[in-house]
Every structure is written in structure tokens, then in C-alpha cells.
Structure 1
Amino acid sequence: MKWTSSYRMLPRMFYQDVLPSVAKDPSFVLWNESLAEQLQLTDWHDETGLLKLSGAQLDDCWEPLAQAYMGHQFGHLTMLGDGRAILLGELETERGVVDLQLKGSGQTPFSRRGDGRAGLGPMLREYVMSEALFYLNISTTRSLAVIETGETVWRERPHRGALVVRVASSHLRVGTFQYAYHYGTSEDVKALADYAIQKHYPHVDNAENRYISLFREVMKRQAALIAKWQAVGFIHGVMNTDNMTISGETIDYGPCAFMNQYDLDTVFSSIDVQGRYAYGRQPQIGGWNLARFVETLLPLFGEGEEGLEIAQRELNAYGSLFEHYWLEEMRKKLALHEGEEALLDELFVCMRREQRDWTETFRDLTVENEECLQLECSKEMKDWYVKWKQTTEGREQELQKMQEVNPAFIPRNHLVDQAIERMELTNDRTLLERLLRFSREPFAYTEEQLAYRLPEEEKTRMHQTFCGT
């Protein structure tokens, strides 16, 4: 096992040295055995590993630091940084180098009067949701462990303290580039861009303009990522620029959830009162965030008007790029071919009018459950179903492949809330473990999974989620 600290190659302005706080009475709540195997850290699921990951016995190879970055939070640019997260080090694995970070490990120079702690509930949510996206084949950071600290964290009420051990290909964000642009020099922006290329896109190193190529690669990753979110009804909840990674990984699972009834205006976050990050606005916000990213690269594109023209031209490609990835996902979900997209629009009209559940609708189509689809549905929905069946006639292999992209199970928000509440109040982990087990095989289509349809009493109830900060 080899540890590195390549982030320290960047100018000193990008980080602050800091040690994690030592947990009072740590204990493992969740341990990700499959991820630990990939990282060759299976032997850390013991007392020594617990001490290392809870701040009491740091590895000699680690050089802990807190990263500096900014972020447009609900449209307002703010100086941020790792207020409750500490990068322990970078681990070289057979699949590449990954960051190992503690989230909820105590105060840092960027805590802004916060305590740097986290409650058990938000850390469990991050673990559950990041694992769900991983097994849905969506790029994401992952959680190696959730550790209870034995301390009390005060928010609106007392909570059991905890931290999550997060694994990512890096923690470079659009907000990192904003920080370099606003607080540093063009040389600092260049150093950060060079580092990002080396870290994630070495194939563009010899491009005619490597920085334009960097932007294109990041834009592709983000367009593809958001298209996959949309395809499974995932709502991130807080798409601030500090929550958009340069690697294209989903990060920072705060008020996130999967949509129930199809509605473009669906919002789960308790603080998103204007619906800025609603389901239907996620593609648009992705483009807005990329505009903020390309602004930071202007000094590297060219002088004056030339740089602006290049940036605008590159950014203009986002809309068609996202549409390409989105249609690619949706065609697979319905076994459609190019040119048959009108069926999508007709289906969405029916789904919204009849308040149909996103996941259940596609699951029923996948198992060809005509009875469920037509139960109390409109003539329009019945007509659509007949038209779709006629269109896809003879495409048996493609229809079978629908099961590979339409999940039979997602961790519904009300189930995640129940699992967290039971764990927090009574240490009952039965539902939590069931959610994790089902999430690891979302396309299994077992009878046990199919039993987890959305209950009638949940179909008209709106749950809120909270960021936990």
C-alpha cells in the first residue's frame, strides 16, 4: 500500500494543514467490505483501523489537510473550504489513485464558526445514497465507513455524532477553480488546471490547447452525469458550484432523494424555497455551473475578446451535448430508436397528468405489466401503451435489456428516513441493512424488491431532506 500527497504540489494557498479531532468513543456503524477489498484495506476493520480513521492514531504516511475553495451557493458566491472535512492522503490502487477523506472530523481553518462535526443521520444518508448511485452505474464518490464518535452534536436538537470516510478520485471542484481565479493569479489557475489534467485527463496533455480540451472533458462528464441522474429520477438537492467535481463524480449528498411522482418541479431540500435545484432544472443548473467554470479558465484560453469568444463557443455546445446523453439514456429505458422520441414526450404528458411514479412506470414497462400500467389510467395512457408496443415489436433483445437500466428498487426517501430514525433512536438497523442489500442489486427484479412499491399513503406526501450542516 502506497500513500501519496500530490495535492501538496499545488501552491500553498490551496490548502491548510490540519489534524482531525480525536473521537471520544469511536465505533464502526457501517463498513463497506467490497470497497475495502478494492482498496486493499480489509484489515482496517479492527480496533487499529478504527483508531486511524477516528483521528487517534494517524498513519505516518498521511499529511492531513483541508482544501480551500469557493462556491456559488444558491447563486451567491461565497468563500468556503473544507469546514468539516480533512483529506488524510491519496492511496495508490490498481485502479488509480483515490482520496481518503474524513467528513465530520472536527474544526478546520475554514469552519467559519462551525463545530466541524456531523450527525449520524446525514452520514448514514451519504453512505446509503452514494452506494445506491454506484450500483446504478452512476459516477459517484463512495463511503468506506460510517463511524460514530461517541459525542453529541447540536443542531436544532441533539444528535449522535458521526463521521463518514469518503473515497473519491479527487475533491477538485468548480469552486476550487473559482477560488484560484478570485484569490490567486493566472499562474495559480494554470497550476490548478495542469494538476487537474494530470489527475483526470492526461490524454489531453498534448492537445493544441490543453485547457480548452480540459473544459470539454469536464463538460462531457457533467452532461453525462446529469443525464443519468435524470434517467433514474435522482435529485441532488444542492447543485452549488462547490458541489460539482472536475472528475464528474456525484459528491456531497445532503438533501438528495429519488423522485416519486414525475414532476419537473419536484424539490426535497428544506432550504430550496425557490426551486432552484428542482428535478427539471438540474440540466440547466449544470450549464450554469459550467459557465462559472469556464470563466475561471479565460486567462488560459486567450487574450481579451479572443478568450471570451472561445469560452462562449465551447459553452454553447453544452445544450446539445446534454440532450445527446439524455436521449441516449431514455432510448435505452424504452427500447426506442433514434427518431422515435415523440413517444417520450407523450409518455411524460400522461405521467405528469396522472401523477405516475417515475420508477414504477418504467419498472412496469420493463416487466410488461400491462395490468398495473392500465389500472385506473386514462385513455391516453392506454393508447400510448398500444403505440409503444407496436413500435418496439420485434425488438425482444432490446426489450430484455431494459431490465439493465430500469431499476426495480431505489432507496425511497421515506424508507431512508425511517431507516435513519430507527438507527438513531433504537439502534435498529434491520431496515437500513435491507435498503443497502437491495441497493446493491437494483436490477435484480426479485419478488422481495417488487414488494417495495410506493405505498398509497406516500404518493401524495412530500418529504423534506436537510443538508445536516
Structure 2
Amino acid sequence: MGTAITSDDLPLFNSFAELPPAFYTRLMPTPLPAPYFVAASANAAALVGLDAAELANDDLVAVFTGNKVPPRAKPLSAVYSGHQFGVWAGQLGDGRAIVMGELKGPSGPMELQLKGAGLTPYSRMGDGRAVLRSSIREFLCSEAMAALGVPTTRALIVTGSDQGVLRETVESAAVVTRMAPSFVRFGSFEHWFYRDKPEELRTLADYVIQTFYPELAGDENPYKSLLAEVTRRTAHLMAHWQAVGFMHGVMNTDNMSILGLTLDYGPFGFMEAFNSGHICNHTDQQGRYSYANQPQIGHWNCFALGQALLPLIGSVEDTEDALEIYRPEFGRRMDELLHAKLGLTTFSEDDSALFDAMFKLMQDNHVDFTLFFRQLGNLRVDNLGNDTVIRDLFIDRVAFDTWAVAYRERLRAENSDDCVRKQAMDRSNPKFVLRNYLAQIAIEKAQQKDYSEVARLLAVLEKPFDEQPGNEHYAALPPDWASHLEVSCSS
């Protein structure tokens, strides 16, 4: 056996810390009393060359709570600004997150950011802390989204402390260590644009291009190319969200990743009874970030980024040209994902009508999003007798039968093989997603110091497309009490 890694051994470095001091504040995290291990992700640990089993030792628990700073760490909190619910909010910044540094792994460097590590100069009216409830939700959803194939930040470890934190009630403190190649946001660029600081704007853009988009550095207008590539990635991200029924809840520009990753898990939710207007954040009273609005808000946010990059790009025409790829890229990726979800291997001009009819049917009958698509893989082209399970998801079974006739005709047109199609559909349609009630059960047990359900649920979510005999209850419809669950920006 090898020697266990210690905090002194962590080969941390910090490329963001090489930027001028205006971009961040160097500071130490604020310790929490008597921290303890809650959960860790082996898959995330492997990305930075760590062994998840070692993360539970007291030395690394202290590091990932912020109680101990490794020798090579350069802890800092970044400044940024942003539009919140469509309104310019001015300076924001890492109000409770501290980047300890980066670790190199098989796929490249990843920043380690401690969320809930204490007050920073950007905390505004906050206390710099996170609570166990929201930390577990972010931990589980980060790893669930990665397993679903959705671009996302990752979550390495959750640690807790019995120190009280006041939210709607007093809750216990926690820290979730999340990872990404970079946590630079759209709002990081807006910050310098609205402060009329062109040199800082250029410095940040050059850092992002050189570090994360080096293939763009030699382009005639690398800043235009940067905007186009971020716009493309954002369009694809929105398509992925829509295809798995994920709702972010707070798509502010300070929550949008310059790398096209799902960033900042707050009041998120996965669609259950289908309603395109569903709002997963109960503080979003206007429904700006509803499921149906996510694609157009993604576009709006790219325009906000384009505005910020305009001084570097040089002309409105070039900026608009870079942004024009959003709609076709979203449409193309969404079309590909829907074809895969329905097991279609060819494309027809009439497919959009088939998809629209399907979503209207789901809306009219409040059909569970995840169960519908998973069960659809069991449909047979020439055997109507096996439709019982999926028909029972619908109030209007006759309406489903009518749609199924058109769907079967479409499958016959491409000579679809039932077995081959089901295998392909099961790789596109997860059986397991992080339903709010599943997270709530794990959270309530964790609040009683029983972290076993967090680990069990993580193991299920890491293999969302597998049948997992014995774990069927994790794929069940939510119980009646789950309808009363609400999530908000409070964490």
C-alpha cells in the first residue's frame, strides 16, 4: 500500500492568482468548530488524482472545511458582477466561496473551491456560510448531472460542523468542495465592462483564451471567436438541460460559466409532472427561469456577455455575428437529443410535429417526464398489447394511443428494430434522476448524523441509465408529501 496523502503533499497551484490583484482578494478561510466528514465522490476525486477513501481522514477534512491551509495553497475569492433576474445588480463576487488552488488530473487542472468557507469582502449582507441541506443537494446534483452526460462543475466532498447558521431556521453549517477547470463567469467580464476598465477586461479575456481556449489565440479576432464558442457551448448546455428535464432556477449572468458548465446549484429541480411553465424556484415569482424559458434566457445571457466583450471585439456587427449561432446550435443539439430519446436514427421533416404533439400530450396529462421517456423504450412497433404501463401514465389514454400510432408509423419508416432501439433509448433516457423528495430524505437523515442515505443515493445517481435491480424505489413517482417541498435561493 502507498503512503496516505496529507495536506502537506497536495501539489496545489493557482493560475488565477497570477492575475493582477484587482481580480480577487487573497484571504484565509474561516475555520468551523469540530468539522466532520459527510460524503465524498470517488469519481470526482479521480479527476484530481485523489483517493476518495482518504478524504475522510481528519487532516483532509480540516483542509476541505477551511480549517487547515496546505502550504502550496493560494486561497482567494474572485470579484465579479452580474444581472440578477434581468436587472443589473452591480458588484457581487464570491460571497462564501474560496478557491484553494488547482490540482492536475488525467483530464487537466481543476480548481478546488470551498463553498461555505466564511466571510469574504464580497459577502455583502451574507454570513459566508453554507448549510448542510444545500451542500448535500449541490454535491448530489453535481455528480448526478455528470453521470447524465451534462456539462457541469463537480463536487468532491462535503464536510459538516454543528455550528448553527441562521436561514429560515437555525441549520448546521457545511462546506462543499466543488471543482471545475475555471469558475470564471459571464459576470466576471460584465464587472470590468460596466466599470469602464478596458485593460482589466482584456487581461481577463486573454487569460481565459490562453488557459482554456488556446486554439482561438491565433484567430483574426480571438475575442469574437471566444464569444462564438461560449455561445455555442451555452446553447448546447441549454439543450442538455431541456432533454433531461433539469431546471436551474437562478440563471443570472453571475451563474453562467465561461466554459459552458452547469454552475451554482441552488433551487434546481428535475421535471416530474410535465408542465413547460414549471418554476422550480419559489422566489422566482415572475417565472423568468421557468423550464420553457431556459433556452431564451441562455440566449439573453450570451447577449449580456457579448455586450461586455464588445470593446474587445470591436464592432456591433462582429458581436452580433458571433451571437447568431445560438439559435441554430440550440435547435440542432435539441433535435439530436430528442431523436435519441425517441430512438430515431434518421431525420424527417415531420419529426418536429411528432415532438410537439408528444410534449402537448405530456402537458395535458401531467405525465412524469423521466418515467415517460424511460417507458417509451419498452414500446414495440407491432405489439400494442405491451403499452399498458406507459398508457397508465396518461389520464387520456386514447390520446396517447393516437400519438403512438404516429410514432409507430415513424419507427416503421426507418425499419426500427425493437431490441436495438430499446438499448439505445435506455442510454439516452435515465431511469434515475435526483428528485427533490429523494434529496430531502437523504438530507433529513444527514441532519440526524446518518449519512448512509447520501452515499446510497450517490451510488444510484452515478449509474442513471442502468436498471439497478433492487433500487427500483429510487425511480418511483414522488409520494404525496413531496408536492409540498419548496426550494429557494436560501442556502
**Given the two structures, how large is their TM-score scaled by the length of structure 1?**
0.95
The offset of 1:456, in angstroms, is: 6.9
Instruction: Pick the aligned partner of 1:93 from 105, 108, 112.
Output: 105
- Which residue does the alignment assign to 1:4? 13
Give the deviation of 1:240 after TM superposition: 0.4
The partner residue of 2:85 within 61, 74, 81 is 74
Shift in CA distance, 462/262, structure 1 to aligned 2, threshold 3 Å = farther
- State the match for 1:343 in structure 2: 354
Matched, 1:362 2:350: no
In the TM superposition, 1:437-448 aligns within 5 A as 437-448=459-470
Deviation at 1:207, TM superposition (A): 1.0
User: Of the candidates 397, 403, 428, which is equivalent to residue 450 of structure 2?
Assistant: 428
Q: Partners of 1:219 and 1:429 in 2: how far apart?
A: 39
Give the direction of change, closer, same or farther, for the CA distance of 1:131–1:13 in structure 2 (3 Å limit). Answer: same
- Per-residue CA distance 1:386-426 (angstroms, 9 max, x = gap): 221232132223442111110011121122122212321x2
| Structure 2 residues without counterparts, runs of 5 or longer | 1-9, 380-385
The offset of 1:262, in angstroms, is 1.4
Deviations 1:164-185 (A, max 9, x none): 1111110000000011212252
Supply the distance in 2 between the matched residues of 1:228 and 1:351 (Cα, whole angstroms). Answer: 19
CA separation in 2, counterparts of 1:457 and 1:16? 46
Give, in whole Å, the separation in 1 of the partners of 2:287 and 2:24: 33
Q: Which of the numbers 431, 454, 460 marks the counterpart of 1:408?
A: 431
Is residue 140 from structure 1 mapped to residue 140 from structure 2 by the alignment?
Answer: no
For 1:26 and 1:399, the matched residues in 2 are separated by 47
Task: Summarize deviations over 1:273-329 as a string: whole Å, max 9, x none.
Answer: 111100000001000100000001111112xxxx11221232232112111111111
Aligned pairs for 1:41-120 (under 5 A) are: 41-42=50-51, 43-78=54-89, 79-120=91-132
Bigger Cα displacement from structure 2, 175-184 vs 102-111: 175-184
Distance 2:363 2:106 in 1: 46
Kept in 2, the 8 Å contact 1:68–1:81? The answer is yes
In structure 2, what is the Cα distance between the partners aligned to 1:459 and 1:428?
A: 22
Instruction: Give me the whole-angstrom Cα distance separating, in 2, the residues matched to 1:233 and 1:458.
Output: 20
Q: Secondary structure at the match of 1:247?
A: coil
Structure 2 matches for 1:87-236, cutoff 5 A? 87-236=99-248
Counterparts of 1:338 and 1:247, CA distance in 2? 30
**Corresponding residue of 1:373:** 390
Stretches of structure 1 that go unaligned for 5 or more consecutive residues are none
How many correspondences in the alignment? 464
- Cα-to-partner distance string for 1:337-364 (whole Å, 9 max, x where unaligned): 3222221111111111111111111011
Distance 1:11 1:460, change over 3 A: closer
Larger mean Cα displacement after TM superposition, 98-107 or 183-192: 183-192
TM-score (norm. length: structure 2):
0.91
- Which amino acid letter does the alignment assign opposite residue 74 of structure 2? E
Q: Say which SS state the counterpart of residue 24 (structure 1) adopts.
A: coil
Deviations 1:3-42 (A, max 9, x none): 2221123232110111000121110101222322331222
SS in 1 for 2:372: helix
Structure 2 CA distance for partners of 1:47 and 1:218, relative to 1, 3 Å:
same
Q: Corresponding residue for 1:322? A: 330
Tell me, yes or no, if the aligned pair for 1:118 and 1:468 is still in contact at 8 Å: no
The 1-side partners of 2:338 and 2:258 are apart by 25
- The corresponding residue for 1:243 is 255
- CA contact 2:40–2:55 (8 Å) conserved in 1: no
The answer (yes or no) to whether the contact 1:261–1:459 under 8 Å persists in 2 is: no
Which whole-Å CA distance do the structure 2 matches of 1:28 and 1:162 have between them? Answer: 10
SS at 2:192 equivalent:
helix
**C-alpha separation between the residues in 2 aligned to 1:385 and 1:461?**
30
Q: Report if the CA contact (8 A) 1:177-1:189 is conserved.
A: yes
Secondary structure of 1:409's counterpart equals coil
1:300 alignment counterpart: 312
| 8 Å contact kept, 1:119–1:468 | no
Range with greater deviation from structure 2 (41-50 or 99-108): 41-50
Instruction: Please give the secondary structure, in 1, of the residue aligned with 2:470.
Output: helix
Once structures 1 and 2 are overlaid, which stretch shifts more, 329-338 or 28-37? 28-37
For the residues of structure 1 that align with 2:45 and 2:156, how far apart are their CA atoms?
Answer: 7
Secondary structure of 2:366's aligned partner: coil
SS of 2:164's equivalent? strand
